[in-house]
C-alpha cells in the first residue's frame, strides 16, 4: 500500500535547507517566495512492513497552476518514509538539495516569472561509466567535483590536534 501525507517534521527540515543562505543556488526560490510543500510517501507490504525505496528517495514535482489553488504550493517535495527514518543527516540534506535543485525559476524577456522542473545534468548507466570512465564533458566535471568533495570530506574527518 502507498500513502501520501503532509509531514510537519519533514516540512521543518525542508525549511531549514531552503532558508540556508549558504545555498545560494536556492536564492531564486527564496526571492520569489515559492511555496514548497513537504510530503512523505509511505510504502508498506501487506503485513505492514515498510518498503525501502529503489530509486531516488526524494523528488520534486511542479504543481500545475490549476492545482496550486488547492494545495497553496508551487512544488511538492516527496520523500520516502523509510529513507527519512533511516538515512544519516548528511544523506538527507544531500537528497533534499538534489530534489530542490530541480526547481527552475526563469524570467522571460517580458519580465514574467516561469517555473519549470529541471532534469539532472548527468544521467548515465553505471556499466558505461565503469567501462569507459568520464567520457564526456559533464562526466569529467562530475568526476572533478567528486574528487574535490571527497578531499573535503577526508579533511573534515581528520582528528583535531
In the prediction, which pLDDT does 161 show? 63
Contact 79, 5 (CB under 8 A): no
In the prediction, which pLDDT does 146 show? 87
In the prediction, which pLDDT does 36 show? 95
| Helical H segments across the chain, by residue range | 8-19, 27-31, 65-71, 81-86, 89-100, 126-132, 137-157
Q: What is the DSSP string of 139-159?
A: HHHHHHHHHHHHHHHHHHHSP
Alpha-carbon gap, residue 68 to 139, rounded angstroms? 36
In the prediction, which pLDDT does 159 show? 79
Contact 41, 78 (CB under 8 A): yes
Which triple of cell numbers denotes residue 76?
A: 511538492
Alpha-carbon gap, residue 106 to 120, rounded angstroms? 17
pTM: 0.79
In the prediction, which pLDDT does 120 show? 82
Spans of the chain below 50 pLDDT: none
Which triple of cell numbers denotes residue 58?
A: 526524494
pLDDT 10s digits, 127-150 = 777 878 887 788 888 889 889 988
Q: Which residues of 142-156 are buried (b: 16+ CB within 10 A; e: fewer)?
A: beeeeeeeeeeeeee
Amino acid at each position: 500500500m502507498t500513502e501520501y501525507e503532509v509531514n510537519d517534521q519533514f516540512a521543518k527540515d525542508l525549511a531549514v535547507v531552503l532558508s540556508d543562505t549558504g545555498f545560494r543556488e536556492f536564492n531564486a526560490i527564496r526571492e520569489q517566495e515559492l511555496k514548497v510543500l513537504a510530503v512523505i510517501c509511505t510504502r508498506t507490504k501487506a503485513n505492514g512492513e515498510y518498503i525501502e525505496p529503489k530509486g531516488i528517495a526524494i523528488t520534486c514535482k511542479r504543481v500545475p497552476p490549476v492545482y496550486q489553488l488547492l494545495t497553496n504550493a508551487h512544488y511538492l517535495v516527496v520523500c520516502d518514509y523509510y529513507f527519512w527514518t533511516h538515512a544519516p543527516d548528511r544523506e538527507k540534506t544531500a537528497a533534499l538539495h538534489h530534489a530542490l535543485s530541480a526547481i527552475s525559476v526563469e524570467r522571460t524577456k517580458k519580465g514574467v516569472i516561469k517555473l519549470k522542473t529541471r532534469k539532472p545534468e548527468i544521467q548515465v548507466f553505471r556499466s558505461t561509466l565503469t567501462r569507459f570512465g568520464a567520457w564526456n564533458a559533464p562526466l569529467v566535471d562530475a568526476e572533478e567535483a567528486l574528487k574535490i568533495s571527497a578531499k573535503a570530506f577526508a579533511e573534515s574527518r581528520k582528528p583535531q590536534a
